Structure 1
Amino acid sequence: MTLDGKNVARRGAAALAIALVAGGGGYWLGQREGAPATESGSGKDGRKILYWYDPMVPQEHYDNPNSLSSMGMKTIPKYADAAPDTGPGVSVNADARQNLGMRVVAAEMGALPSSLTVTGSIDFNRRKVAIVQARSGGFVTRVYARAPGDVIGAGAPIADLQLPEWGGAQGEFLAVKRLGRPDLTAAARQRLRLMGMSDTLIGEVERSGRTSGTVTIRSPIGGVIQTLDVRAGMTLAAGQSLAQVSGIGTVWLNAAVPEAQAGLVRMEQSVSATLAAFPGEIFAGRVTAILPSTQAESRTLTVRIELANRGGRLRPGMFASVALAGDGKPALLVPSEAVIRTGTRTLVMLALADGRYRPAEVRTGREGGGKTEIIAGLTAGEKVVASGQFLLDSEASLAGVAARPIGGGQ
């Protein structure tokens, strides 16, 4: 080998040695920078790291930042100087609360306003019905200008009847009266009453001394003529119906209440109704009957409400919007927006001390006016989150925070 060849060989060996040293140093530095920190390790900012974990499964601890949790997520460090866990729940600092727009309210006792608004229709008051009949056989001599659907007042004439039986009985009464026997006269007068004659008619016969077999049939109540089965010249039998009159001083409002809300209705409950025919006017009434059967097609219960009908303005067939008043009983109330319904249970997010929050299971009751009744799971004065609670509930679920069970105490 020549001198030049030896120089070339020495240069090549030196370059290889330098490359090995450089490679070994780089490998060692890389191992130092990537070495996992243990409980005695520290992060780049000098903070002591206890372990690495996944917030979705905080119970799993790892000693290597390159580890993946059972959820397949990259782990983050848990620092020794982090705020200690002071109790169950999730912690939210003031800035985060402001950014979330969180609103906290206290559960309080109050009366639940009614939210039960249904529809109904006006109908005749079926308890205010008068049947006009012939009390004795005879025939019709005159019919007044009446027709079904006419509105008449109490005492309005319907027809004049000639009743021969009445004329004969009145003649007998006058003959007995002339005998001067008070006891017989009283008995004859009572017979006329039993035949259907009014005291006014009997008094007129007694004063005039003349019989009157013609009688005017009048409506005993004011209202609407539903049926009119009398014509001039007709022959009548005793007890035959001449007309049917429905009173309109009061009307019924038949409201259709959904089956699921039937428990909110009670007898004598106050009701307010509005009709499109009278905008801005409220009609007050009360529940007089809850019908025992449910409509199979609509799954509704019919509730009968009685309304005063001043001036006869409320006409059968009109539709109305019906609001049933609440029962006024005190109840523990929270805003309805604070209630979280998961399908299997109902939760609210409690606001604890030091900016901590924890879900609590509750049992709810009625709703109305933006309020929900809490039957169990809360006490008066406890604070719940009314805005932003869904994000807190998600965070609590991720952190594995268990909801406070019903009956678990404050």
Structure 2
Amino acid sequence: MTMTKTNKHKILGILFLLILVSLAIYKYGSSIPLINKIPIFTDEHEHEYRPVFDEKGEIDYWTCAMHPSVRLKEPGQCPICGMDTVEVWKKDNSQTKPVTQAKVEDQDRAEDGEDMTGMQGHDHSRMGVPTKKDNGEEAKSTFSVSPQRQQLIGVKTEPVMVRTLDKEIRTVGMVTLDESKIYNVQTKFSGWIDRAYVDYKWQHVSIGQPLFSIYSPELVTAQEEYLLALKSKNILSDSQFTDISSGADSLLKASRRRLELLDVSASQIKELERTGEVKTNLTVYSPVKGHVAQKNAFENMHVEPNTLLYKIADHTTAWVQIDIYENEISLVKLGEKATMTLASFPGEVFEGEITFIWPHIDPETRTVKARLEFPNPDLRLLPEMYADVTLDIPMGEKLTIPDSAVLRTGKQDVVFVDKGNGDIEIRRVELGQKAGGYYEVLRGLKSGEQVVSRANFLIDSESKIQAAVATWGDEPQGDQEPTQKLEIQLEQEMDNDSETQQLELHNH
């Protein structure tokens, strides 16, 4: 009986120890290094390497997988989304260095895209927060990412340099009539239209093509007076009295002038002189080559000098009207060359130039209209045709950066400047026009500096960017120190994938 109790005590002791060991494994087993289970990566030189973790397995803090900015001392739930927090293990601080200092530079004196060396003596070492001092000096945020980590996440830099920019503006245009070459056809005498040779709108006419014939008593009288003056001139030309012969000449000239004022052509007057017969009907011819834009002439219609009979548009030059946005108005000048393509003529390019720019903005479209002229000798460009217009505007040599290097936060434009040795600086810039994939730099950078043009997600949290930009907007009063901090948690963000893999392994 005694042996049985002793055995039971031993068994219970063994079970108790097993329970303690199980609890210890359950609680501390996740801290066991899992290096052998972490995948092997290959760099651009085909060297294999494996991410290194602290074998001590000491937990640094708890965070949310969806909100890395959340840091808790104890496990729990994310105060933002309610997800369970995950542990973050301490790593070697040599991999990623925290913010060490803020280099204060006088960016307000950086004219023509050049940075001036900053004023020293104002301590921002507690946090690299962009801010402004009372004298207008602007601090800049600097952080460090090792070259190995930059290579891992695909960071690419490009130099700030002077480039020749050509701005290409694409817009849509519409073909219209050349208003300076629209001719009205009217008579300068009353009469009746005997016959209309051009009898429908938009009919094509050539110079000298008959439009209509008209009977006018006034015109008949003018012809008779001219024939009479011509006869008198022939009879009195040999008169011994100089006044009589000169009077006959003056009468003939006046009669001829009257016919010309009634739009009787020189060839018609010559025919009248040759035949000596008065024509009851006068034929009116087209003064230009083009299309009949308006027609009001009908046979047997009575007309007066103020009656508009035809409106003919000379369409050998076509107008094209385009819209230009407000931010591009300063680039567009008279005489700028333009090219045009139309769906009606695939593969064909028309060349023209800007001849007029409207002096006001359309309040509905917020654009400025401009007029282009294109040669149209064969009259293929028809009114109301839609066209794709391209303006190639040379901007000259400008200090530029790639457009992919710019982070637009709404009120400010910022770039990441590579200072070398893994140091990266967040800097505000002022930009001009964008052309050919590059921005013109007006202020904030100087030639030769390197800017990050790819993998700008190093600081991809909008809240962090906004925190930095907000401090630029306001100046502290007196000697007030900036209270808003830019928490750049680079370790958490750059190792997010590795931590996710580790979490998945722990769950297994």
Instruction: Please indicate, yes or no, whether the TM-score normalized by the shorter chain is above 0.5.
Output: yes
Match of 2:324 among 257, 266, 287: 257
- Of the candidates 387, 392, 395, which is equivalent to residue 328 of structure 1? 395
Structure 1 equivalent of residue 182 of structure 2: 129
- Contact 1:365–1:374 at 8 Å: present in 2 too? yes
| Partner residue in 2 for 1:90 | 143
Shift of 1:204: 2.6
Q: 1:137, 1:238 within 8 Å by CA — same for their partners in 2?
A: yes
Give the corresponding residue for 1:340.
407
Question: 2:297 is matched with which residue?
Answer: 230
Secondary structure in structure 2 of the residue aligned to 1:301: strand
| Equivalent in the alignment of 1:153 | 206
- Whether the 8 Å contact between 1:333 and 1:371 is mirrored in structure 2 is yes
Aligned residue runs from structure 1 range 2-401, under 5 A: 88=103, 89-177=142-230, 178-179=232-233, 180=237, 181=246, 182-391=249-458
Question: Structure 2 vs 1, CA of residues 77 and 142 (structure 1 numbering), >3 Å: closer, same or farther?
Answer: closer
> What's the CA shift for 1:76?
8.5
Three-state SS of the structure 2 residue aligned to 1:114 is: strand
CA distance in 2, matches of 1:318, 1:401: 51
The answer to whether the 8 Å contact 2:166/2:396 transfers is: no
- More off after superposition, 130-139 vs 206-215: 206-215
CA distance in 2, matches of 1:127, 1:358: 59
- How far apart, in 1, do the equivalents of 2:280 and 2:469 lie? 93
Deviation at 1:346, TM superposition (A): 0.9
Which stretch shows the higher mean deviation, 361-370 or 208-217?
Answer: 208-217
Q: Which moved more, 1:175-184 or 1:334-343?
A: 175-184
Query: In the alignment, is the contact (CA less than 8 A) between 2:194 and 2:214 conserved in 1?
Result: yes
Identity score, percent: 28
Q: How far apart, CA to CA, are the structure 1 residues paired with 2:324 and 2:255? A: 57
Structure 1 unaligned segments of length 5 or more: list them: 1-43, 46-51, 53-65, 67-72, 406-410
| 1:109-144 per-position Cα deviation (integer Å, ceiling 9, x unaligned) | 233333422222222222221111112111111111
Query: Residue type matched to 2:380 in 1?
Result: R
Cα distance in 2 for residues equivalent to 1:325 and 1:359: 34
For 1:383, the aligned partner's letter is: Q
Distance in 2 between residues matched to 1:109 and 1:174, nearest whole Å: 80
CA contact (8 A) 2:98 2:143 kept: no
CA distance in 1 between counterparts of 2:319 and 2:99 reads 67
Residues 338-369 of structure 1: CA distance to partner in whole angstroms, max 9, x if unpaired?
11112231112222233422122111111122
Which residue of structure 2 aligns with residue 34 of structure 1? none
Cα displacement (A) at 1:168: 1.6
Q: CA deviation at 1:393?
A: 7.7
Paired letter, 2:440: E
Letter in 2 for 1:207: R
Segments of 4+ moved more than 4 angstroms: 73-79, 82-88, 400-403
Contact 1:249 1:312 in 2 (8 A): yes
Give the aligned CA root-mean-square deviation in angstroms. Answer: 3.8
1:165-184 CA-partner distances (Å, limit 9, x unpaired): 22222222232233333344
Specify every segment of 5 or more residues in structure 2 that has no aligned partner in the other structure, as ranges. Answer: 1-53, 61-72, 74-87, 104-141, 238-245, 473-508
Query: TM-score of the superposition, structure 2-length normalised?
Result: 0.59
TM-score (norm 1): 0.71
Largest Rg, 1 or 2: 1
Q: For residue 83 of structure 1, report the CA deviation from its aligned partner.
A: 12
8 A contact 1:136–1:239 mirrored in 2: no
The 1:239–1:204 alpha-carbon spacing in structure 2 relative to 1, beyond 3 Å, is: farther
Task: State whether residues 340 and 351 of structure 2, in contact with CA within 8 Å, keep that contact through their aligned partners in structure 1.
Answer: yes
Amino acid in the other structure paired with 2:391: L
Question: Which is richer in strand?
Answer: 1
Whichever residue aligns with residue 164 of structure 1, its letter is: P
CA 1:205/1:364 → structure 2, altered by over 3 Å: closer, same or farther? same
Count of paired positions: 340
Aligned-pair CA distance for 1:159:
0.4
For 2:260 and 2:361, the matched residues in 1 are separated by 46
Alpha-carbon offset, residue 160 of structure 1: 0.7
